[in-house]
């Protein structure tokens, strides 16, 4: 059974930093691209970033480019999101998500999701 268990999150002041983690099990983690998706309270789902299965390629939404960094440690079956220069508009539930297919061109269908973790940016 695929499981994605998230940790991190919490309250941080504007301009601060936070790191989210996502521990994967039940599949060959290194074979899959992984994503972060967020949803601000009462707002739409927003794709945030992705890292390829081999970790060589990363892509970001314009809203977080230059401030957020996605990374992975395949030896620990773990995905990370380092968030810096946080703003009020970054307040959201953050979900890690697994691609539906392994190592292909069909990336961006989110077949499994973590439980979500709330990040609140507030002074």
Partner 1 sequence: DIVMTQSPDSLAVSLGERATINCKSSQSVLYRSNNKNYLSWYQHKPGQPPKLLIYWASTRESGVPDRFSGSGSGTDFTLTISSLQAEDVAVYYCQQHYSIPFTFGRGTKVDVK
* Site residues (vs partner 1, CB under 8 A): 35, 37, 44-47, 50, 59, 61-62, 95, 100, 106-111, 113-116
Nearest to 71 by CA among 54, 55, 86, 60: 55
- Least separation in angstroms between residue 111's CB and partner 1 is 5
Q: Which of 60, 58, 44, 51 is CA-nearest to residue 98? A: 51
Nearer to partner 1, 52 or 77 (CB): 52
In the complex with partner 1, the residue whose CB is nearer, 17 or 111, is 111
CB 75, min distance to partner 1, A: 26
Would you say 44 or 56 has its CB closer to partner 1?
A: 44
Taking the complex as a whole, the smallest distance from the CB of residue 4 to partner 1 amounts, in Å, to 9
- Torsional class of 88: left (φ above 0), alpha (ψ -120 to 50), beta (otherwise): alpha
d(CA 97, CA 35): 5
User: For residues 37 and 53, what is the distance between their CA atoms, to the nearest angstrom?
Assistant: 17
| Rounded Cα distance, 84 and 59, in Å | 16
Closest distance of CB 100 from partner 1, Å: 6
Residue placing its CB nearer to partner 1 in the complex, 18 or 37:
37
Q: What are the backbone angles phi and psi of residue 75, rounded to the nearest 5°? A: -70, -20
């Amino acid at each position: 059974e695929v499981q994605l268990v998230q940790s991190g999150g919490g309250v941080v002041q504007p301009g601060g930093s936070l790191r989210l983690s996502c521990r994967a099990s039940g599949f060959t983690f290194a074979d899959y691209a992984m994503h972060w998706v967020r949803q601000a309270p009462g707002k739409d789902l927003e794709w945030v970033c992705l890292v390829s299965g081999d970790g060589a390629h990363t892509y970001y939404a314009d809203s977080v480019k230059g401030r957020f960094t996605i990374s992975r440690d395949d030896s620990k079956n773990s995905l990370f999101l380092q968030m810096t220069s946080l703003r009020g508009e970054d307040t959201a539930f953050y979900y890690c998500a697994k691609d539906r297919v392994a190592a292909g061109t069909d990336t961006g269908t989110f077949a499994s999701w973590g439980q979500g973790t709330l990040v609140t940016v507030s002074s």
